[in-house]
Amino acid sequence: MSTERIYLDWNATAKLLPEARDALLEGLDLAGNPSSVHREGRAARAAIEKARRQVAELVGADPAHVVFTAGATEAANTVLTPDFRMGRSPVRLGGLYVSAIEHPAVHEGGRFPADMRTEIPVSSDGVVRLDALEDLLRRHDADAGLPMVAIMLANSETGILQPVAEAAKIVHAHGGLLVVDAVQAVGRIPVSLEALEADFLIVSAHKIGGPKGAGALVSRGETLMPTPLIRGGGHEKGHRSGTENIPGIAGFGAAAAFAASDLSERNARIAALRDRLEAGMRTAAPDVIIHGDSGDRVPNTTAFTLPGLKAETGQIAFDLEGIALSAGSACSSGKVGESHVLKAMGRDPRLGALRISLGWDTTEADIDRAIAAFAKIAGRRKQAGAAA
Ligand code: PLP
């Protein structure tokens, strides 16, 4: 068997694209400060503005409404705050409603205190319950301020797509603001801020082949904006101070341009690979549970549980077979916690789930090796069960 490693953990982070690497290196060599008016400064500014257009294009937004941050977590902490501004006037929001399956970057609620946060439940299919959202917003105390709702577009663990456009209608009917974490959706499905009618979108560079540590908060307008998380020199029109990370931003722009191009062809290929993988897994272990397979998912993600095999053990077994994948919600420390996503779906979170996520350089041969490894690991589990 080949000893070459196979990377199937693209939802954790994608490989750096050659285009992004080139843009990043060019950005490193730009000597000027983008706030300076001299030629060097203007060259640095031009690199940032090019990236702003590329990111805006990817999410169907106006470049003027893209605020660069140091990743999606920072963008989330920027926008999830009760303290907004309309021009110079403060506007206080009245509460945050956050889906039960959000990534911790959003689930933690940013700058909203705990007593202002409410969870929106999901169905057993892993889809946010719009009836529950409607009900929560009907009971929202409007005197306390506008409600803010946060629902992700694609779940990071299962890939399950969320009914964001429908949620936007409900949120707006109640005078609220909708924040959409599109981190796992961009580059996997077409995303348009306008079409979704979201008020804010959060994106991250490293999930689409850009460098780690760059992201953006994209807004539909500029009338109502969060008070900045990072204050100082007033960069990014006052929304995020600090000299811009030119290489990171330039790399992000190049990755966004790649993600927007040939999306349907690339994803049709990836969806076919994922189908091949799931068919192979089902043949090798008919009792495998594939989470969210009955609904709409991004084309690159498979989350599964093999009865009798703990996800942590499975992850190590795959690693020994040369395959990198994820086990449930890998925390920053690298330890595996019980998946709050499985729990929210009413599934037993104790065994956890393994996640295989594909990217643009995944090949049929990679998938066939993953299936072979899966069959071996599933077979061992059966033998251990029979011996016990
Ligand atoms: N939101 C989702 C859905 C994610 O998958 C991640 C990354 O794991 C984040 C937010 C955080 O992104 P970043 O690493 O850019 O802070």
Ligand 1 pocket check: which of 98, 184, 298 to mutate, most ligand atoms within 8 Å of Cβ? 184
Ligand 1 in reach of 9 Cβ (< 6 A): no
CA of 139 to the centre of ligand 1 (A): 31
pLDDT of residue 387: 55
For the chain, domain boundaries? 6-15+262-387, 21-260
CA dihedral 146, 151, 152, 153 (to 10 degrees): -100
Q: Contact 352/338 with Cβ under 8 angstroms?
A: yes
Q: What is the pTM of this model?
A: 0.96
329 pLDDT band (50/70/90 cuts)?
low
pLDDT of residue 382: 67
Supply φ then ψ for residue 289, to 5 degrees. -105, 120
Round to whole Å and give the CA distance between 169 and 166. 5
Q: In this predicted model, which residue has the larger pLDDT, 299 or 343? A: 299
Ligand 1 atom showing the smallest separation from residue 12 Cα: 8
**Mean pLDDT, residues 313-340 taken together:** 80
DSSP β-bridge partners for residue 93: 146
pLDDT of 381 above 90: no
**Mean pLDDT, residues 176-204 taken together:** 97
Count other C-beta atoms under 10 Å from residue 85's C-beta: 15
Share of the chain above pLDDT 70, in %: 95
pLDDT of 335 above 70: no
**Mean pLDDT, residues 254-265 taken together:** 96
Tens of pLDDT along 67-105? Answer: 999 999 999 999 999 999 998 999 999 999 999 999 999
pLDDT of 25 above 80: yes
CA of 7 to the centre of ligand 1 (A): 19
Max Cα-Cα span within the chain: 75
pLDDT of residue 333: 45
CA of 68 to the centre of ligand 1 (A): 15
Round to whole Å and give the CA distance between 126 and 121. 9
pLDDT of residue 294: 87
CATH architecture of 6-15+262-387: Alpha-Beta Complex (3.90)
Ligand 1 in reach of 73 Cβ (< 6 A): yes
> Of 148, 70, 156, which Cα lies nearest the Cα of 109?
148
pLDDT of 334 above 80: no
Q: How many CA atoms lie within 13 A of 162 on its CB side?
A: 35
CA of 314 to the centre of ligand 1 (A): 24
Give the angle subtended at the CA of 312 by the CAs of 74 and 375, to the nearest 5°: 120
Q: Where are the alpha helices (DSSP H) in the chain?
A: 18-28, 39-58, 72-79, 104-107, 130-138, 164-173, 193-196, 246-260, 263-284, 311-320, 340-344, 364-387
Ligand 1 in reach of 351 Cβ (< 6 A): no
Closest Cα to atom 5 of ligand 1: 156
**Mean pLDDT computed over every residue of the chain:** 94
Tell me which of 14-23, 341-350, 379-388 is least confident: 379-388
pLDDT of residue 347: 84
Q: In this predicted model, which residue has the larger pLDDT, 242 or 4? A: 242
Ligand 1 in reach of 359 Cβ (< 6 A): no
Ligand 1 pocket check: which of 98, 99, 183, 208 to mutate, most ligand atoms within 8 Å of Cβ? 183
Q: Contact 374/323 with Cβ under 8 angstroms?
A: no
pLDDT of 249 above 70: yes
**Mean pLDDT, residues 343-352 taken together:** 84
Instruction: Tell me which DSSP letter residue 254 carries.
Output: H
Amino acid at 330: A
Supply φ then ψ for residue 9, to 5 degrees. -135, 45
**Mean pLDDT, residues 233-262 taken together:** 97
pLDDT of 188 above 80: yes
CATH architecture of 21-260: 3-Layer(aba) Sandwich (3.40)
291 pLDDT band (50/70/90 cuts)?
very high
Ligand 1 atom showing the smallest separation from residue 213 Cα: 15
Q: Contact 244/280 with Cβ under 8 angstroms?
A: no
Round to whole Å and give the CA distance between 91 and 342. 36
Tens of pLDDT along 100-130? Answer: 999 999 999 999 999 999 999 999 999 999 9
pLDDT of residue 349: 78
Ligand 1 in reach of 184 Cβ (< 6 A): yes
**Mean pLDDT, residues 4-20 taken together:** 97
> Of 105, 49, 75, 14, which Cα lies nearest the Cα of 201?
75
Tens of pLDDT along 51-68? Answer: 999 999 999 999 999 999
Closest Cα to atom 7 of ligand 1: 12
Supply φ then ψ for residue 358, to 5 degrees. -100, 160
Catalytic residue annotation: 331
Amino acid at 187: G
